[in-house]
Structure 1
Amino acid sequence: DKWEFPRNRLSFGKTLGAGAFGKVVEATAYGLSKPDGAIRVAVKMLKPSAHFTEKEALMSELKVLSYLGNHINIVNLLGACTIGGPTLVITEY
């Protein structure tokens, strides 16, 4: 998948916002835009208490963002971590 990004190349910072089942965290992504570069991103993730329906909703959001591609009026998808742990959706900061 062209959107898959290795979770070990994310360094998490402060929480930007949180809801009942998820949160958005500021992070640095290493090698996302250029092989030796680092950029600031926002990472959406579910809390451990999230139910199956919230997990399905996050996956649905990921599918929609990947289908839409880049657009000036939305926060654009930069990548995702779906392998080896909880789903992480990486977007522009």
Structure 2
Amino acid sequence: MAASLLLLGTGAAHAATGTLEFSGNGERTLTNPTDGTCYKLAKSSPSGSRGYKTITNHTDKKVTWYTADNCQGDGSAVAPGETSEASGTWWPFVSIRYVKIG
């Protein structure tokens, strides 16, 4: 019983194993991102804040990407091994600006 209490008390954050790859507006990779964390991806540019066009999920967890600040609003889920595109027509106005794991 003492061992199980020790495990419950660690409070360690869980991470997805693997990488998230982003393209369009340059390239970016997140390695072993933490569950529940909202990651800001958008870069500042002369025309405003631009995100990425595509995301490829090479982790073992579902991820959700957002066009709105701080992972708010409706997101688009990407299963492990899948790729998602923000918009073939409206990019860069519609872009992947934030991502959340789990």
Higher helix share: 1
Normalising to structure 2: TM-score of the pair? 0.24
